[in-house]
A and B are shown apart, each in its own frame.
Chain A
């Protein structure tokens, strides 16, 4: 028999990285299996100077702005993943080939990258409220402790004042919030002037809670507001899971093995065989472990679980926040240029807490637009490109984009299944179905209307509601939900898959409810808790 590892973790995304760090720091040997796609082309060609400066100097800029193969020029309609720039395109490399998904209703973004979707995440790091934690099936006390551990590792900046209860809760060691640009600063000052009126209506606004540094932290540098966040990680100002994995690789008790697509697990009496397929040679290879931790992201985990437990379950549920982009005009900025120095990520967050209970809160990140380039906006106008350019050049700084997330709950009409596909790399394909119930549709419409009114109250005027389709929020959970009953296809509170003895899930698959706040900080906190539970049971 091949070597028996103590722990195998599958996946190097935020959940895999945090679980691995917890094990490795406790002296436990870990093998991480991953596909591990990397950006080999662009990381060293993006200059670390302000966006407006390199645009006027660098002759090579078309390479990282459009791509060597012009792969980032979006000729078709906006869909999940359209926003990725050339240095981020590797996030979705080989997805269709290695982990195909079929659906008419659900269009997720998945990743096989070194660092997973975390290679491109916007850094929005929210702490769930107690009510949300309870609905998500998470242990309130343990997760709160874990938020602090993970927060200290990854570095969090944000607001500890007015919106604290929606953003960072009781988190400590928080760095000062990032500076807003002049456009959102204006909107925010209107909010501050009329704060009590807004709050009475359940509207709260503040700087975003971010895993982006406003002060140096170890090897990582604070943001310099160069507005190049979608192109480079040169300062490591935003937390990326590969930063953790790169550091873990220096430990003797951590081994990282790329190019291994995990197909299924087979649980034997006191060990687990992990079947993998080499993504270069196509060879099947087995790894043996005492405990297996799946951290492959909720859709990826659904695949592995459906294959491994096919005799017990054929369908798994899914959760994903419905999402809309709302491009708006903010007339107060017409003819006024945006701050030269700014981050490219969310400038502020608006929370709509209609019932005042801090659950089912609507969350909208507020962005301004520059570094994703004007030509993409011009394409969205119903004008010829020549006039479109002139008009959008004028409107650009007055553009505010609200990225609006809605909470999500289970229903019979949201699920994953595995279907045969002899042509695919794994001989199968994940099929997804996502349909809102009538009640959800009504609530969605009503909330959207209320949110539009809220924007009006800030003197921001929506131009269009863009619905890129379900799955486009890039927040996924709930495929193997927590349950107190020992039912197949569910998780025990400590993250173990019911009906298995030693297979655990560290990503968001266990969550039984998906608040509209970004899920990733909670996924990482949960991964830390799962690792601790596994060590406790060892």
Chain B
């Protein structure tokens, strides 16, 4: 799997946009500077996650509960940091004025997120990574 594809998949997953060349370059640079090595097993899993957005979310959710500091989480976290420090993407991290009914949306998201957590935990337990 090329780092370019990885950067694309992560950007889409995290903020729903395509990665610019700057983001791909920065992600590549960062991985050259920080040691986030994946084991063979993790690498196999990672390849699948990058190709499958649903799996990416499921495994990220499971790891958030079972193994927060797993190298897979670290890679996603690194991309999250890079995206927040990009002028074209930083607004995805800015607070927005919201109407009070947005609370409903917030709770809906919370419920869906917990659902992903449950599948994620189950998945990781079943496939033992």
Check A52 against B14 for contact (C-beta < 8 Å): no
Chain B residues, CB < 8 A from A59: 22, 87
The CA of A338 and the CA of B116, in the complex, are separated in Å by 31
Check A337 against B95 for contact (C-beta < 8 Å): yes
Give the bracket for the number of chain B residues in contact with chain A. Answer: 35 or more
Check B61 against A383 for contact (C-beta < 8 Å): yes
Check A335 against B93 for contact (C-beta < 8 Å): no
Check A386 against B14 for contact (C-beta < 8 Å): yes
Chain B residues, CB < 8 A from A55: 87, 90, 94
Stretch at the interface among A60-68, A119-127, A418-426: A60-68
Nearest Cβ on chain A to B89's Cβ, whole angstroms: 10
Check B80 against A61 for contact (C-beta < 8 Å): no
Nearest Cβ on chain A to B122's Cβ, whole angstroms: 14
Nearest Cβ on chain B to A243's Cβ, whole angstroms: 29
Nearest Cβ on chain B to A272's Cβ, whole angstroms: 46
Stretch at the interface among A143-151, A312-320, A393-401, A510-518: A393-401
Chain A residues, CB < 8 A from B74: 75
Q: Is B81 an interface residue (CB 8 A)?
A: yes
Would you list which residues of chain A between 68 and 103 have a CB under 8 Å from chain B? 69-70, 73, 75-77
Instruction: Look across to chain B and name the residue whose beta carbon is closest to the beta carbon of A52.
Output: B94
Interface bits B72-103 vs A (CB < 8 Å: 1, else 0): 01101110111011110011111111111011
Check A375 against B109 for contact (C-beta < 8 Å): no
Instruction: Look across to chain A and name the residue whose beta carbon is closest to the beta carbon of B30.
Output: A70
Would you list which residues of chain A between 24 and 77 have a CB under 8 Å from chain B? 52, 55-59, 61-62, 65-66, 69-70, 73, 75-77
Check B112 against A66 for contact (C-beta < 8 Å): no
Check B69 against A374 for contact (C-beta < 8 Å): no
Check B116 against A337 for contact (C-beta < 8 Å): no
- Chain A residues near B (Cβ < 8 Å): 52, 55-59, 61-62, 65-66, 69-70, 73, 75-77, 334-338, 370, 373-375, 378-379, 381-391, 393-394, 396-397
- Chain B residues near A (Cβ < 8 Å): 13-15, 22, 26, 30, 33-34, 36, 57, 60-61, 64-65, 68-69, 73-74, 76-78, 80-82, 84-87, 90-100, 102-103, 106, 109-110, 112-113, 116-117, 120
Give the top 3 A-B pairs by smallest Cβ distance, nearest first: A335-B98, A62-B85, A387-B113
